Amino acid sequence: MCGRTACTLAPDEVSRACAYRNRGGQRRRPRWRDGDADKYQPSYNKSPQSMSPVLLSQRHFDKEAPVDECVLASMRWGLVPAWFRDNNPNKMQYSTSNCRSEGILEKKTYKDPFVKGQRCVILADGFYEWQKMGKDKQPFFIYFPQSGDREKDQDGSEAARPPAEDSRVLTEGGAAAEEWTGWKLLTMAGLFDCWTPPDGGEPLYTYSIITVNASPNLQNIHHRMPAILEGDDEVRRWLDFGEVKSLDALKLLESKSSLTFHPVSSLVNNSRNNSPECLQPVDLNSKKEPKPTASSKMMKSWLQTSSTVKRKEPDEAENANEQESQAETRLKPTGLQQWLQATNKKPRRK
């Protein structure tokens, strides 16, 4: 399962970090759907019903757009099916934050959007998972390796990083830009739907993260994991519902052993806690920092430089039932820019 994520990049950084490749092989930087950049709130500790950045085909919003042209949108975590008849989406009596890959074609909630090609990619720095340890549960942060082509996981196994792509990315206007060198975002397969209140009102876009059996290196933490899409080709095929039909897209939903992880503080257990300490690696025995991996070194440097960034409370709640999500704060890109400088990497400009 996947019940908590972190996504700390600013809106413009998210756009640069999730450049995609179209059918012609050109890499593009997606723009935000009108107004959606303001709806997204970076957070170290995102829970269901919060807003997250989602990558999807522009064709879902503009029937004249090429199906392989992508756009960024802010969607609420927890799919509300289009056929839901209550005026309050928070009255859903079952959880839809996750969708088991085995049940996509069995449950109407997921089958309808899947057959319609409503596939999306949920973007995050990584996700949290809890391992049972006797009567307690130990949280871990799980993410793509951030340095080197291969590195060892906590259990000694090696995790392969997807190969680097062409470093030239086309902006929306077509000008070439350098490859994003900041935090490598996790790309998780998902489904989305659009619900409109029966009595009228603004449409609500929501999503569910698809899960599969955990890979061997993650099975000791939990038996399920998000369906991870690796590299430009898998992302393109999952989103390109015009070229890749539903049954072929299902073949992309497999367990992946390319993730790394480290234990974190139980501070993350409470979704109201939203600080860099949620991601900080800890030692399970001494509660001190463990022997660092390349990725955890990068994360430590990033957290140390971003922890002093001033934050402010959002102007209003994302919806009436999101009390836990109200603690999410809007992060300025300064901390991440400092991290890039600390690792001898030049921060991007807008």
Q: Catalytic residue positions?
A: 2, 129
The percent helix, strand, coil of the chain (3-state, each to 5) is 20, 25, 50
CA dist list (Å): 21 to 29, 76, 122, 170: 9, 26, 17, 10
CA distance 227 to 225: 6
Q: Which two tokens stand for residue 77?
A: 């975590």
DSSP per-residue letters across 245-314: -HHHHHTT-------EEEEB-GGGGSTT--SGGGT-B--TTTSS--SPPHHHHHHHHHHHHHTT---B--
Q: Which two tokens stand for residue 236?
A: 């393109």
- Residues 264 and 125 sit within 8 Å (Cβ to Cβ): no
Q: Which two tokens stand for residue 114?
A: 């899947």
* Cα 174 to the center of its chain, rounded Å: 26
Q: Which two tokens stand for residue 251?
A: 């073949």
CA distance 321 to 146: 36
